Amino acid sequence: MRSGDRLALARLITHAENRTSALPAIMRAVHPHGSGAYVVGITGPPGAGKSTIVDRLTALLRAESATVGIVAVDPSSPFTGGAVLGDRIRMQAHALDSGVFIRSMASRGALGGLARATGDVVKLLAAAGFAWVLVETVGVGQTELDVMKLADTTVVVFVPGSGDAVQTMKAGLMEAADVFVVNKADRSGAPGLMAELKFAAHLQYTGPTARRDVDWETPVLATQADSDAGTADLLDTIRRHRELLEASGALEARRAARRRAELRALLAEELTGSLERRLAAADLGRTVEDVADGTIDLYTAAEAIRPMLSLGPS
């Protein structure tokens, strides 16, 4: 994979997607090579034009000979499957370019699992030498947020006419956004939407949940990605954000925090699995059934089970 074999890369990605037993050894082997890429997340509601924006950013980066890995994370809802497939077909303009690698990730139903698999795929793309990794989520809900946590810069794309953008924004996405884009900015609702987003960005910037490690108020950009209008400005803005993060040391600090969170999440997931097995065992299973049939309450059961679940060395 490190020598540019795309088939090898695709095979390793499949290990990450399927969480095979070989994955820990794979990730250990690529780890020394995995920190070079800059990761940009692109999210927003269905139909906002995210894939077109990813396509334009890719073209701009390729014009400078920078290599680009693209991960498109599909939503778990089966109803948008067709749209996603269409997006991928549009991206085939880059399909024959050896400086671009495109992979769609399907949801496995396990939300945390999808974000973790995406994290491993991003690391594989970085280790394969791609300078930029663009992560696009078409999902709605928690997956989107978890996937966006993988990004160094998060771009949230809106489109005029999709209802009250700020009110329908998922909780937490406001805090995660580094750049707002109003795409299809020639539509009539665009100025109002931009004003609304600017107000929300300013509230966020001056509010209690703002990140204070860099001085950055989320800018609101207008694009018409179909005709490439505004996309160069978007790439410039992403670069400005990157430079600020790098110069201030915030990039390294945020990545360190992200790695800590990944480890905690992995261990917590394993522990939850152990808990399921312990609760299924005869000694605790009886108490679980007493709760299920209403014989005892939740807290009484938790008190009875708690001493049996000490988290100590084996």
**Interacting positions 143-182 with its own copies (CB under 8 A):** 143, 145, 161-164, 166-172, 174
Q: Min. distance of Cβ 4 from its own copies in angstroms?
A: 22
Min CB(241)–its own copies separation in Å: 22
Q: Are 68 and 100 in contact (CB under 8 A)?
A: yes
- 313 phi and psi, to 5 degrees? -65, 150
- Taking CB under 8 A as the rule, does residue 210 contact its own copies? no
Residue 22 binds its own copies, judged by CB under 8 A: no
* 301 touches its own copies (CB under 8 A): yes
278 lines the binding site for its own copies (CB under 8 A): yes
What's the gap between Cα 309 and its chain centre? 33
Answer yes or no whether residue 104 interacts with its own copies by CB under 8 A.
no
Select 137 or 231, whichever has its Cβ closest to its own copies.
Answer: 137
Q: Considering only CA atoms, which of 159, 240, 176 is closest in space to residue 41? A: 176
70 phi/psi in degrees, rounded to 5: -125, 125
Nearest distance in Å: CB 105, its own copies: 14
Residue of the chain from 63, 64, 276, 282 that contacts its own copies (CB under 8 A)? 276
> Which of the stretches 5-13, 134-142, 176-184, 243-251 binds its own copies when contact is defined by CB under 8 A?
134-142
Q: Does an H or E element contain 70, and which?
A: strand 68-73
Round to whole Å and give the CA distance between 38 and 20.
Answer: 26
* Nearest to 65, CA basis, from 1, 129, 151, 156: 129
Interaction between residue 141 and its own copies (CB under 8 A) = yes
